[in-house]
Amino acid sequence: MTLLALETSCDETSAAVVRDGEIVGFALSCRVIGLGVEQKLLAAVVAAHGPLAARIVETPRNAPVRWLYRDGGFEKGADGVWRIGRENAAA
């Protein structure tokens, strides 16, 4: 398991947890959602680990980040799992 953290100029820290080629946790302060921090962290995770899989279990509380993986270059499979390789990661 790997934990990657990103400290921003907003004094907020975001983190991603990767286990066995899958992003199993992605935490982001609501203060920085939409400022590009989420894509920088996601790009760093893909660069360090790619190819990766990820899932989003939709709940009312995670609506602001439902398209995190799509916007980061992941493709959603028929099984509902988002996947990416290093070659198609968003910069």
Q: Tens-digit pLDDT profile for the chain (91 aa)?
A: 555 555 555 555 678 889 999 999 888 877 777 777 788 888 888 988 879 999 998 888 888 788 889 999 999 999 999 999 855 455 4
Cα–Cα distance list, 57 to 13, 38, 45, 61, 78 (Å) = 22, 17, 20, 10, 15
Model pLDDT for residues 60-71, shown as the tens digit of each residue = 888 878 888 999
Model confidence, pTM = 0.76
Q: Give the largest Cα separation in the chain, rounded.
A: 38
Which SS3 state, helix, strand or coil, does residue 88 take?
A: helix
Determine contact, residues 8/14, Cβ cutoff 8 Å. yes
